[in-house]
Amino acid sequence: MKPNFANAMMLSMILTGVAAAGAAGYPERPIRMIVPQAPGSASDTVARLVAAELTPRLGQQVVVDNRPGGALMIGMEMTARAAPDGYTIGYAPVGGLVISPNVSGKPPFDVNRDFAAIIMTAFNTMLLASNPNLPVKNIRELIDYAKANPNKLSNASSGNGTPGHVGMELFKLMTGTQIVHIPYKGGAAGVTDVISGQVQLMMESLNSITPHARSGRVRALGVSGAKRAAVLPEVPTIAEAGVPGYEAITWNGIVAPAGMPRAMILRLNAEINRALAEPALQQKLAAIGAEPAGGTPEEFAKFIRSEYAKWGDVVRRSGAKMD
């Protein structure tokens, strides 16, 4: 999904009028935003930025409620099971909404049935990095080296079912390489072992790994998005560096329990579109390596379905498991 802010702003003005007509008086009390990760996590940081923008726009406090655990599915299930009255919404990371449900095999909710999409808020790309002592300097050399040494290389991830895990599984499928996955309990531990050489590779969020790439402690090989990252403009995308068609982004959005009144969805969508178009919020997102998204509820719903299918296919083909 590539956001278009001119269109988003025009749309938000239209939706604001529609929503105001159908949601008069909403909200009349604080809104709870369930975040399925711990305070200080990447998703929590963006959720709090959005909540801070929404509060004055709605005239009611938007309260962040952190509910980590269960590979992000505890918080997502709480959102799905909440009353669809407009006063409980969920902050939905790609991992909790479309990756973990596929990897677990038995998710506690139906992604396409139990949620109402409101808006995609932000997206980011990841960086595929290597230990600098690995004798490869680019993606093409990595592919050749991995093919010549099947199962001799290992890649860290911040855990089973994370974007970095399945992003690398997609890379392996598209390149025909065999690289051993080693899950960690968090990205920091994995990055540390890539720096020390305990593992050779890692696909990790730009926010976490870019400082180490700039210092030379890891070697930046390619970014996972469709375009180069503003924070590392000299690093090619994985697609342009040797894997045409490759793309794996991380993203966050806001969803509600299925059945939430349409007028309330439109009110929230319009106000968040307006907030995402503000330069101040865009700068805050850029500071943590994220880009604002926006758009309609229908666009986000369609995107969720496509991402669920995409990562479901990768999980099935790769045999990725939650453990």
The partner residues of 88 in beta bridges, in order of sequence, read 32
Q: Which of 176, 78, 87, 179 is nearest to 128 (CA)?
A: 179
Q: Which two tokens stand for residue 202?
A: 């890692």
Q: Does the residue 232 lie in any domain?
A: no
pLDDT band at 106 (very low <50, low <70, confident <90, very high): confident
The whole-number pLDDT of residue 22 equals 56
The whole-number pLDDT of residue 265 equals 98
pLDDT mean over 263-270: 98
pLDDT > 80? residue 15: no
Helix axes 139-148, 163-175, angle to 10 degrees: 70
Q: Is the same domain home to 165 and 29?
A: no
pLDDT > 90? residue 173: yes
* Phi, psi dihedral angles at 282 (to 5 degrees): -60, -40
Q: Note whether 271 and 250 are within 8 A (CB).
A: no
190: domain CATH number is: 3.40.190.10
Q: Is the same domain home to 30 and 99?
A: yes
Q: Note whether 271 and 54 are within 8 A (CB).
A: yes
103: domain CATH number is: 3.40.190.150
Q: Is the same domain home to 117 and 160?
A: no
Global pTM value: 0.88
pLDDT mean over 241-251: 96
The whole-number pLDDT of residue 111 equals 95
Q: Does the residue 241 lie in any domain?
A: no
The whole-number pLDDT of residue 125 equals 93
Q: Is the same domain home to 108 and 193?
A: no
State which residues form the domain around 74: 5-123+248-318
The whole-number pLDDT of residue 105 equals 78
pLDDT band at 185 (very low <50, low <70, confident <90, very high): confident
Percent of the chain whose predicted confidence (pLDDT) is above 90: 81
Is residue 106 packed enough to be buried (19+ CB in 10 Å), middle (13-18) or exposed (0-12)?
exposed
Q: Is the same domain home to 75 and 209?
A: no
The whole-number pLDDT of residue 207 equals 84
The whole-number pLDDT of residue 187 equals 86
Q: Does the residue 79 lie in any domain?
A: yes
pLDDT band at 5 (very low <50, low <70, confident <90, very high): very low
pLDDT > 70? residue 21: no
Q: Does the residue 35 lie in any domain?
A: yes
pLDDT band at 202 (very low <50, low <70, confident <90, very high): very high
pLDDT band at 83 (very low <50, low <70, confident <90, very high): very high
Q: Note whether 318 and 67 are within 8 A (CB).
A: no
Q: Is the same domain home to 170 and 265?
A: no
pLDDT > 60? residue 4: no
Q: Residues with Cβ < 8 Å from 189, sequence gap 6 or more?
A: none
Q: Is the same domain home to 79 and 130?
A: no
Q: Does the residue 323 lie in any domain?
A: no
Report the mean per-residue pLDDT for the chain: 92
Q: Which of 14-28, 59-73, 126-140, 274-288 has the lowest mean pLDDT?
A: 14-28
Q: Residues with Cβ < 8 Å from 33, sequence gap 6 or more?
A: 47, 51, 62, 63, 64, 65, 89, 90, 91, 254
The whole-number pLDDT of residue 321 equals 80
pLDDT > 90? residue 262: yes
* Phi, psi dihedral angles at 280 (to 5 degrees): -65, -45
Q: What is the separation of C-alpha 62 from the centre of its chain, rounded to a whole number of angstroms?
A: 21
The whole-number pLDDT of residue 13 equals 54
pLDDT > 50? residue 295: yes
Give the number of other CB atoms < 10 A from CB of residue 188. Answer: 12
Q: Which two tokens stand for residue 120?
A: 């995609």
DSSP characters over 209-264: HHHHHHHTSSEEEEESSSS--TTSTTSPBTTTTT-TT---EEEEEEEEETT--HHH
Q: Which of 173, 206, 223 is the last residue of a domain?
A: 223
pLDDT mean over 272-277: 97
pLDDT > 70? residue 9: no
- Give how many domains the chain has, as a whole number: 2
Instruction: Report the alpha-carbon distance of residue 4 to residue 34 in Å, rounded.
Output: 27
Is residue 110 packed enough to be buried (19+ CB in 10 Å), middle (13-18) or exposed (0-12)?
exposed
